[in-house]
Amino acid sequence: MAPPSADVDTVTSQNVLPIHEKLTGNGKKAIPSQFPAPLKYLGSLDSFEHFDVTGVIGREFPKLQLSQILDDDIKIRDLAITVSQRGVVFFRNQDITNQGLKKLALKLAHLSGAPKESGLYRHPLSNYKQTYAIDEEGAQDDEISLISSEQRRGWWRDKVGHTKVLASGGWHSDFTFEHYPTAYGVFKVVGAPEDVGGDTLWASAYEAYDRISPVLQKTFESLTAVHRNPGFHSQAKKGGFELVQGPRGHPENITDKDADAYEAVHPLIRTNPVTGWKGLFTGVNSLQAGHINDVTERENEILKDYFKQLFIENHDLQVRVRWGQDDIAIWDDRSVVHVATNDYFGKRTAYRVSSVGEKPYLDPKSTSRREALDSISTVV
């Protein structure tokens, strides 16, 4: 069973309340607070076989078919809460269609409180403008990103598996350079690696925050950072690609055509509205190209290295999956970072659908994951 959250709202099978609305003791809606209350897991997924992959991050449902619960709002809402609490959740050999992936990603976001303006993300580069098809009939859809080793080799003119750079350099959260970044990523492998390799790793931003001393936690909570991605522009210029300027899943995700990068300012410590837990929100690679505000240049470099080290050198806050045909991972981009392992030579193909969430914020009354779980254990 997923760990519960304290001070939460309630729902019925007929009515899922918005994330920011709570019920008072007499059943009337309370006045909304400035920040949303965390959501309560209702137990609707407990009957399905599942196990936690590590103590900190990851859960797997080895037999559940997502297509069978797609129209059950209570189960999808509980799934969103489970993903947000565990960081990433795995499903094996799934039969859900591409349109089902889109429906799932959108429902995960909206049933857990995403703004009504938030939709499915349109990738600046990996989109229909590159004339790739997302099924055998040649369909094109700019809300489904093709994740292809063949496409990547064409972009970067390299050979996957023959790299001499550190593999840890690829850690990132998706699209943190947007004003409204993505909430949930749904990733389906439709062409498992032809040879061994191609694993993906995730690391917990909740646990990374918990590794920081209380004194520095308070300092970092006062800081913001510029998340920046100049790579799309240089990539498009070299390859002759056309970029999507916007809107990319939200009306405010728009980039001036003359800009040299996609960028946005976010709090360094972020509250996940679904759990109410704080996480270290750096995006790793997005922050590497950006900077932390209100610190010296030397401090900026030291802190960026330290934050990266928290994620990549603490293997006990990571989880790793080996892909099989039609396997799916769903993760919460607000509270994990991830990296692909480019140690294979054959083809590897997947589709990703990402739903956009809220504008990042820090609720000063939110708690850390460890504090939340410790308080629950004390009560029990």
Domain residue extents for the chain: 51-379
Q: Which range, of 117-131, 215-229, 247-261, 284-298, averages the lowest pLDDT?
A: 117-131
Residue 206 φ/ψ, nearest 5 degrees: -60, -50
Instruction: Report which of 105, 60, 13, 22 is spatially closest to residue 276, judged by C-alpha positions.
Output: 22
Q: Is the pLDDT of residue 5 over 60?
A: no
The answer to whether 160 and 342 are in contact (CB under 8 A) is yes
Q: How far is CA 97 from CA 127, 135, 153, in A?
A: 18, 10, 27
pLDDT of residue 135: 63
pLDDT of residue 132: 62
Q: Which range, of 178-192, 206-220, 227-241, 365-379, averages the lowest pLDDT?
A: 227-241
CATH topology of domain 51-379: Double-stranded beta-helix (3.60.130)
pLDDT band at 260 (very low <50, low <70, confident <90, very high): confident
Q: Is the pLDDT of residue 128 over 70?
A: no
Q: Is the pLDDT of residue 140 over 80?
A: no
pLDDT of residue 127: 56
pLDDT of residue 349: 87
Q: For residue range 72-111, what is the model confidence (pLDDT) as tens digits?
A: 999 999 999 999 999 999 999 999 999 999 999 999 999 9
Q: Is the pLDDT of residue 164 over 80?
A: no
Average pLDDT over residues 114-132: 79
pLDDT of residue 4: 41
Model-level pTM? 0.87
SS3 132: coil
Q: State the average pLDDT for the chain.
A: 85
For the chain, what percent of residues have pLDDT higher than 70? 82
Q: What is the DSSP letter of 174?
A: T
Number of residues in the chain: 380
Average pLDDT over residues 352-373: 96
Q: Is the pLDDT of residue 25 over 50?
A: no
pLDDT of residue 149: 62
Of 26 and 218, which is predicted with more confidence? 218
pLDDT of residue 167: 74
Average pLDDT over residues 296-302: 97
Q: How far is CA 17 from CA 22, 65, 92, 179, 295, in A?
A: 8, 26, 31, 25, 41
Q: Is the pLDDT of residue 320 over 90?
A: yes
Helices (H), the chain: 73-86, 98-111, 149-156, 205-210, 214-220, 231-239, 285-289, 297-312, 369-379
For the chain, what percent of residues have pLDDT higher than 90? 64
Residue 184 φ/ψ, nearest 5 degrees: -115, 135
Average pLDDT over residues 12-21: 36
Average pLDDT over residues 296-314: 97
Residue 54 φ/ψ, nearest 5 degrees: -135, 175
pLDDT of residue 8: 34
Q: For residue range 207-259, what is the model confidence (pLDDT) as tens digits?
A: 999 999 999 999 999 999 999 988 887 777 777 777 877 799 999 999 887 78
Of 344 and 53, which is predicted with more confidence? 53
pLDDT of residue 201: 97
DSSP run (H or E) holding 187: strand 182-191
